[in-house]
């Protein structure tokens, strides 16, 4: 039998509560997604029709194949849309609860900021900020551990990609100051 010393336990005190109220149902998301897909299909169909979706003397034109794919996409989306509208609200399931959405945003917003910072400060500085910030603020891990982990990881990535494997990443003012 399992004794405490050979057990691995990891807690998640911040876990989403199962009784958290739903933000949006699957049916509503389905409808929005199908509408967006329909719009995309219409846009692509129009663009391919403009490019030429018929037959040139030497075979199908550039827009032929994608045009009919857009029609297929539109058809399948329309079916899904009608299906979702007809199925009614009674059988609706939760798409995401408030707690879950909060947790998802906890990753998504930092990731978005990371992408923005990469553009201005270079990837390695952005990576340091993302890891340190995420560990400290979201994971509530001690500041020194967060800073150390972030620094070690970012420097290790720099050494691996930019120096050892010659895969060049976007760089900013800090790297420039060191002459890279």
Partner 1 sequence: MEAFGLLFHGFTVLLTWKTLALMMVGLVLGIFVGVLPGLGGPNGVAILLPLTFTMDPTSAIVMLSCIYWGALFGGAITSILFNIPGEAWSVATTFDGYPMAQQGRAAEALTAAFTSSFIGSLVAVVLITFLAPGIASFALRFGPPEFFAVYLLTFCSFVGLGREDKHKTIISMALGLLLAGVGMDTVSGTLRMTFGLSELLRGVNFLVAVIGLFGISEILLTMEERLALRGHAASISLRVVLQVWKDLPRYTMTLVRSSVIGCWLGITPGGAIAASFMGYNLAKRFSKDPDSFGKGRIEGVFAPETAAHASGTAALLPMLALGIPGSGTAAILLGGLMVWGLNPGPLLFVEHKDFVWGLIASMYLGNVVGLIIVLTTVPVFAAILRVPFAAIAPMIVVSCAIGAFAIQNAMFDIWLMLGFGVVGYVFKKIGIPLAPFTLALVLGSRAEDAFRLSMIGAEGDLRVFWSNWLVGSITTLAVILLFWPLIGAAIGRARGLLQRA
Helix (H, G, I), strand (E, B) or coil at 146: helix
Nearest approach, Cβ of residue 86 and partner 1 (Å): 13
CA distances from 70 to 31, 63, 126 (A): 19, 10, 39
Nearest approach, Cβ of residue 177 and partner 1 (Å): 21
Residues between 37 and 96 that touch partner 1 (CB under 8 A): 37, 44, 47-48, 51-52, 55, 58-66, 69-70, 72-73, 75-77, 79-80, 83, 95-96
Residues between 95 and 124 that touch partner 1 (CB under 8 A): 95-96, 100, 103-104, 106-108, 110-112, 114-115, 118-119, 123
Out of 23, 26, 147, 172, the residue judged to bind partner 1 by CB under 8 A: 26
178 binds partner 1 (CB under 8 A): no
174 binds partner 1 (CB under 8 A): no
Angle ∠(52,54,55) on CA atoms, nearest 5: 120
Count interface residues toward partner 1 (CB under 8 A). 78
Measured CA to CA, the distance from residue 60 to residue 94 in angstroms comes to 46
Measured CA to CA, the distance from residue 22 to residue 28 in angstroms comes to 12
Nearest approach, Cβ of residue 176 and partner 1 (Å): 17
What the block records as the tokens of 62 is 């550039």
Out of 35, 39, 138, 176, the residue judged to bind partner 1 by CB under 8 A: 138
Nearest approach, Cβ of residue 103 and partner 1 (Å): 5
Hey, how many other C-beta atoms are within 10 angstroms of the C-beta on 54? 10
134 binds partner 1 (CB under 8 A): yes
Q: Which residues contact 97 (CB under 8 A, 6 or more apart)?
A: 16, 17, 20, 21, 22, 23
């Amino acid at each position: 039998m399992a004794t405490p010393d050979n057990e691995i336990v990891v807690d998640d005190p911040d876990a989403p509560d199962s009784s958290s109220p739903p933000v949006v149902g699957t049916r509503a998301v389905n409808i929005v997604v199908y509408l967006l897909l329909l719009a995309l299909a219409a846009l692509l169909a129009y663009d391919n029709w403009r490019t030429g979706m018929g037959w040139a003397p030497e075979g199908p034109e550039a827009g032929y194949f994608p045009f009919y794919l857009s029609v297929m996409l539109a058809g399948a989306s329309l079916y899904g849309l009608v299906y979702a509208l007809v199925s009614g609200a009674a059988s609706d399931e939760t798409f995401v609860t408030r707690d879950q959405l909060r947790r998802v945003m906890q990753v998504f917003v930092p990731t978005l900021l990371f992408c923005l910072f990469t553009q201005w400060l270079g990837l390695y500085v952005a990576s340091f900020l993302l890891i340190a910030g995420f560990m400290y603020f979201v994971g509530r891990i001690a500041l020194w551990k967060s800073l150390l982990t972030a620094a070690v990881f970012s420097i290790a990535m720099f050494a691996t990609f930019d120096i050892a494997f010659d895969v060049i990443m976007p760089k900013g003012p800090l790297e420039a100051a060191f002459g890279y």
